[in-house]
Structure 1
Amino acid sequence: MNNFKKIFPFILPYKKYAYLNIFFNILYAVFGTLSFVSLMPMMDVLFGQSKKNYILPTYKGLSGLKTYLSDYLSYYLTSITDTNGIGYTLSILVAGIITIFLLKNLCDYLAMFFITFLRNGVLRDMRNAMYKKTIELPLAFYSEKRKGDVIARISGDVNEVQTSFLSILELIVKEPLTIVFTLIAMVTISVQLTLFVFIFIPVSGYIISLIGKQLKRKSTKAQEEQGQFLSTIEETLGGLKVVKGYNSENYFNQVFQESTQRFFTLSNSIGNRQNLASPASEFMGIMVIAILLWYGGHMVLIEHSLKGAAFITYMGLAYNILTPAKSISKASYAIKRGNAAAERVLEILEQENPITSKTDAVEKSTFNTEIVLQNINFKYEEEAVLKNFSLTVKKGQTIALVGQSGSGKSTIANLLTRFYDVNEGTIAIDSVNIKDINLQSLRGLMGLVTQDSILFNDTIKANISLGKLDATDDEIIEALKIANAHEFVKDLPLGIYTNIGDSGNKLSGGQKQRLSIARAVLKNPPIMILDEATSALDTESEKFVQVALENMMQNRTSIVIAHRLSTIQKADKIVVMQKGEIVEQGTHDELIALNGTYNKLVTMQSFE
């Protein structure tokens, strides 16, 4: 119930559908009971057991309601039989029974009709909330979670909540009310026989609860295993070249099959427990009906304390309890499964996001003077990456960060954009701490070109216009020209409307990188961060991209993280890093003259 309370806000926008569902479920329970009770006068007429009543009864209060209704029905049947004959009376009774069954099924349909809007509405809103949260969470979250597991939660677990967990709405209204109304009708027919039913319900409930034990725990394991094999699919497709290049198809096939085998075993265990619920509850119901047949038959044939028609109606009502009882047992299992899924969904939705905008965050649309990184310390979990790092970047300057892999260069880019937050120290833009700047306006000040040119399965225009969604075709073409990319784009069959495939795989590495640069150019930010933008390119592609980068960096403040030193010789200041600390800084010529770490790096690359 605790998880249901947390899911409840998703139900609130659709409460009118919930109310309508409850209303028609109440009517369904009423007509469901009446559909059996209405058989009694029919059988009385058929067996000639209906008593003649020529006196119109008078209503004497709630305590005498049963007698009043019985006397009024016998008076009505006597009147129409004497006037129109027994055949007409049977026709009226049959028409009445058909009408009640029609109303019962119509109410059932309408109840399901309205609950469909609620279920699918909750499914849509929960998926939307999950996706929104997924893209809001910081990068650090995905260093611990498998992406496939997150996909499994958005698809499978949310669907499980919709199909299983929301069955609680049916569980608390439709089936219990059907049982309650049926029991009331049974009590009015025979109190003695109904005592057997009251004994049966708690015993049955206890046995069903024993069958359902451990179902939630096994369901959680099954859903985790589903996340595992979806992660394997996602990782395999992402690294298909490596899988094929290293002849590792059999290895990954085995990993996947082992995961699906575990899922198969868990699913069988869960399914078999669920499948046991329905026959177990039905068997117990038949046991009670057998006892009722014996005891009720004794009352009809020996004691003559119960009429045959009333007994047959009573047996119909007793069997009518079995259907909702089975539904409750199935729903209780579904709720256990849905509860496990809800926990996995809520784990994402309730995940705290440490990198957000403050309520009184500053909106900043311009960059005027300088960026100051002061006494920064930063760790990825336990590993110290930056130690007491300080740097000032003046407006219009090009600052290059160089050093060996793992020296902390890319971490600077991640901290400036607030993909991660510093552990100690401050980063300020124009003397305003970036934690005090609205996150969107902070990232709006920056353009980012990464080593991996991240493109999406869409057109060139859609990919480039991420930086400016309302950009015209002319603006996009101008950005492509600055990025040295228009030359190859204009030769494509549909120009900027050409689809570039998954991750831009229809293009070469150099072409993809130039599109990434065009995207940054179109955004036109005052601060540009280039994170090893040419390191993955061949020499010819690098020349094209280098021209594009130089075009883009004109009149901008640029922070260039470089692996290839040929790309940063014109920088205003080169900062040499080693194990998270600055060991040298100055211009290219000054650092060469020092004959230190930078000179060694240049010599090594020249040799290479």
Structure 2
Amino acid sequence: MRESIKKVTHLIKIAKVGRGKFFSLVVLAIISSFLSILPTSYLGKISDQILAHLKSNSDDLNIVLKLFITYSIIIILSTIVRNIFCYLSSKYFNKIIYNIRNITYEKLLNISYRYINKSDKGNIINTIYNNTARLEAVFSTALFTLISDFLDLLWISFFISKISIVVLVFLIVGLPILIYMGYNSGEYQKELYINKIDKEKSMINHITQTFINLDAIRTFFGQKKETNDYDKYNHNYYFLSHKADKGLSIFYIIEKTIRTIAISISLGYIAMGILRNNFSFGSLLVVSMYTTRFYSPVTNIIRYYQMLQKGLASVEDIDGFLKEDDVIRNNNFRFENIENSICVDNITIKGNDKTLLKDFGCKIRDKSINIIYGQSGCGKTTLIKSLIGIYELEQGKIIVNKRYENTNKIYSYASQDIFLFRGSILENIIYPKTVEIETKERLNKGRELLGKLGFSDNKIYQQVGDGGKALSGGEKKRLSLVRAIISDTPIVILDEIVSNLDKENKEKAENIIIKESKKRCIILITHDEIYRFEEKADCNIIDMERSKESIS
């Protein structure tokens, strides 16, 4: 529990919502709680005054009237202060959730590739979206109500002690049992919630894989198998939910029994005291209301503690995610004075406990088309991912020309998995800038290249749709090529960018690449386009099957 509190405190700290606001809420909570409990004592005084009035046959009702007015004012004031407190608390804690959501998303954008490569997509989605949503169980209603209930309990104890210390002792006797049971029940709920989160991750992964492979599943009539596999995860999740509900039900039965016994003994004691003239009749009314309210905060605190476990399980997941290392820019690079743009020296790369590339070396020249070719699976994409930092080196080194050391961005990259966001074609090629802030020079160059590749002036303002679904495969590749070319980087990496284009657009794309190779370093990954470039440009051929140069 102590570790969980530390992690909650840590999240509040990184959310940067201000300690001053928190302490102001605590003060407001104390006032709110006092005003909430105080009116009950006035009801006791009113009852005693009415009985006294009846016995004396007096016509003077001023004292009773004043007590009623005071009671009403306190009730109204209590309602105003309590609702202000609830509103400000909700705003404060929702701001924490808002900030943590943004922080976890920003962490995703900067987290190390080592973490990305070893993690399932579903797990990451679950951490950023579902687990931050579950923080509402910690930072929303539960936490500020927990604070209010705790303060209510203290004030109720204070007012009961003014009537009878013995009654307070009767009520307190049951607390250790309730707290012990509540704590153990909460820990049990937390364990179940952690298991439920794991099942959720499995279901999200299964749904993601189903969506990606939907065509294949339908082609091979795999619907029944996939449904059965998903049902296993879903059934396990349902079973855990059932166990959690059963545990809570048993706890509430025991809790209600203990509470009823303690309240009955307390009221019996006051009733006997009234008969012996030790207490006024108003004391019975006050104690009956206070004893009921005494256990309400205790019950609520224990219930909220159970609820908090769901959030605390998510807190641990988020805390672990945020503690992962950030990506280190150009981590694989060493900058030295060399003749070429890049020297890859005897590198070995591993991923998921497999060797993806072993003892590989090559030289990448400036102002040339460096063609990396080889059969599928020979390591072309792995090499590129090591250059851009997605894969870390197990051994060897990548030496980059020292003149690039102070360059803000060394490379641009057009991958096979083309990233497109919801916007126009023009907006996609200047990503992440917008039309309003992009330079005229870059916009004009983008429009010119798009025009050469068959995009009309009207077409470039067309929306690409989610993931580019409004574009054909060839249009996506041409768009990706233009985006890489107009980036002001000394190295341009193009992964299978001209494959599967029609003859006309392939020639246009090749001419653009050849022209750019006279100004800067072009790295082109392909498996069958070598001869087309060799005839027209200065090319450096890197055969993945044979190239194992060690740079001395």
Please indicate, yes or no, whether the TM-score normalized by the shorter chain is above 0.5: yes
The gaps in structure 1 that reach 5 residues or longer are 53-80, 586-608
1:72-128 deviations in Å (ceiling 9; x for gaps): xxxxxxxxx98xx53333222111111111222222111111112221111111111
Aligned counterparts of 2:146 and 2:252: Cα–Cα separation in 1? 19
1:572 aligns with 2:536: no
Query: 1:575 touches 1:584 (CA, 8 Å); kept in 2?
Result: no
Residue of 304, 318, 327 corresponding to 2:300: 327
Q: Aligned partners of 1:353, 1:86: CA distance in 2, in Å?
A: 77
Q: Deviations over 1:251-289 (max 9, x none)?
A: 333333332332222223324434555554344222211
SS of the residue corresponding to residue 390 of structure 2 reads coil
Q: CA RMSD in A?
A: 3.2
**Which residue matches 1:311?**
284
Cα deviation digits, residues 445-474 of structure 1 (max 9, x gap): 212122233322322122111165433577
Q: Deviations over 1:291-334 (max 9, x none)?
A: 22222222222x33222211221221111112211210111112
3-state SS of 1:419 partner: coil
Alpha-carbon deviation of 1:216? Answer: 0.9
In structure 2, what residue type is equivalent to 1:572? C
| Structure 1 Cα separation of the partners of residues 240 and 508 of structure 2 | 55
**1:499 equivalent in structure 2:** 463
Q: Select which of 29, 45, 50 maps to 1:46.
A: 50
What TM-score do the two structures reach when normalised by structure 1?
0.80
Alpha-carbon separation, structure 2, partners of 1:44 and 1:228: 64
The 10-residue stretch of structure 1 (133-142 or 327-336) with the greater mean CA deviation from structure 2: 133-142
Number of the residue aligned with 1:344: 317
Q: Is the 8 Å Cα contact of residues 152 and 230 (structure 1) preserved in structure 2? A: yes
Q: CA deviation at 1:196?
A: 0.5
TM-score for the superposition, normalised by structure 2: 0.88
Counterpart-to-counterpart distance in 1, 2:516 and 2:476: 16
- The Cα offsets for residues 421-449 of structure 1, whole Å up to 9 and x where unpaired, read as 322222222247x8xx57xx46x221212
Alignment correspondent of 1:28: 32
- After TM superposition, the structure 1 = structure 2 runs for residues 346-385 of structure 1, keeping only pairs within 5 Å, are 346-353=319-326, 355-356=328-329, 370-385=341-356
Q: 1:558 aligns with which of 511, 519, 522?
A: 522
Choose the corresponding residue for 1:179, options 131, 134, 153: 153
2:410 is matched with 445
After superposition, the C-alpha distances for 1:326-349 in whole angstroms (9 at most, x for unaligned) are 210111112222111101111211
More deviation in 538-547 or 404-413? 538-547
Q: Residues of 2 paired with 1:159 and 1:235: CA distance?
A: 23
Q: Quick one: which amino acid aligns to residue 296 of structure 2?
A: T
For the Cα contact (< 8 Å) 2:193–2:310, is it kept in 1?
Answer: yes
Identity value in percent: 19
Q: Aligned ranges for residues 182-221 of structure 1 at < 5 Å?
A: 182-221=156-195
Matches of 2:17 and 2:139, distance apart in 1:
17
1:17–1:114: 8 Å Cα contact kept in structure 2?
Answer: no
Instruction: Extract unaligned runs of 5+ from structure 2.
Output: none
Verify the 8 A CA contact 1:28 1:108 in the aligned structure 2.
yes
- 1:393 corresponds in structure 2 to 364
Q: 1:268 aligns with which of 219, 229, 242?
A: 242
Structure 1's 370 and 144: CA in aligned 2 closer, same or farther, altered over 3 A? Answer: closer
Equivalent in 465, 479, 492 of residue 446 of structure 2: 479
1:445-594 alignment runs, 5 A limit: 445-466=410-431, 469=434, 470-471=437-438, 475-476=442-443, 478-482=445-449, 487-490=454-457, 495-537=459-501, 542-565=506-529, 566-570=531-535, 571-578=538-545, 582=547
Deviations 1:553-589 (A, max 9, x none): 34221122211134543452212122xx51699xxxx
SS of 2:438's equivalent in the other structure is coil
Higher mean alpha-carbon deviation, 475-484 vs 284-293, is at: 475-484
SS of 1:86's partner is coil
**More contact order relative to length (CA 8 Å, sep ≥ 6):** 2
1:332-375 Cα shifts (integer Å, max 9, x gaps): 112222111101111211112353478xx9999xx996322223
CA distance change for structure 1 residues 150 and 181 in 2, over 3 Å: closer, same or farther?
same
Larger-Rg structure:
1
Gap change, CA 1:246 and 1:477, over 3 Å in 2: farther
CA contact (8 A) 1:528 1:553 kept: no
- Closer/same/farther in 2, CA of residues 362 and 374 from structure 1, 3 Å limit: closer
**Range moving further from structure 2, 169-178 or 395-404:** 169-178
